Amino acid sequence: MNTPAMLSRTAFPVLVVAGPERQQLVGETLRRIAAELGALGHIVVSSATATDAAALVTSDPSFGCILLDWNLGYDGCGRPAEEILNVARRRHSALPVFLMVERDEKLADGHAQSGAGSAEAHEVGELEG
């Protein structure tokens, strides 16, 4: 059995990208996640806009994972979160990205739509196939 003293952990920065709507819906959950990651030694970097998030991903190769609000800036036509995902994949193809969606947002084709409900996170691989 592994104990915390036996586990070797390497702290890495974690990027949390969540717009004001997501922060309002699940703000306490996001704060708990950030606090837990901080307690494990990770540096949590927050961004509330797609532009800032893309700049952070482009300029800092040290992020160990991204927690991304799928509906960030969604206007019914374009999905800025998808651009962040593409930037992250171009920068580091194996970077884990976890998408935050509402339970009723996930469609059968694996894409998300706007709606209300309980938040959950999905690793990108779950939505891709």
Q: What is the pLDDT of residues 8-42, one digit of tens each?
A: 567 899 999 998 877 777 778 888 888 999 999 99
Homologous superfamily, domain 14-128: Response regulator (3.40.50.2300)
pLDDT, position 101: 81
CA–CA separation, 34 and 43 (whole Å): 9
pLDDT, position 124: 52
Q: Tell me the residue type at 126.
A: E
Domains of the chain by residue range: 14-128
Ramachandran quadrant class, 99 (left: phi over 0; alpha: psi -120 to 50; beta: rest): beta
pLDDT, position 9: 62
- What is the pTM (predicted TM-score) of this model? 0.70
pLDDT, position 47: 93
Q: Is 83 exposed, middle or buried (0-12, 13-18, 19+ CB in 10 A)?
A: middle
Tokens of 7: 């586990």
pLDDT, position 51: 92
3-state secondary structure of 51: helix
Mean pLDDT by 10 residues, the chain (129 residues): 51 90 78 90 92 94 92 82 93 90 57 45 48
Q: What is the DSSP string of 73-118?
A: T--SS--HHHHHHHHHHHH-TT--EEEEEETTTB-TTS-B----S-
pLDDT, position 103: 64
pLDDT, position 116: 40
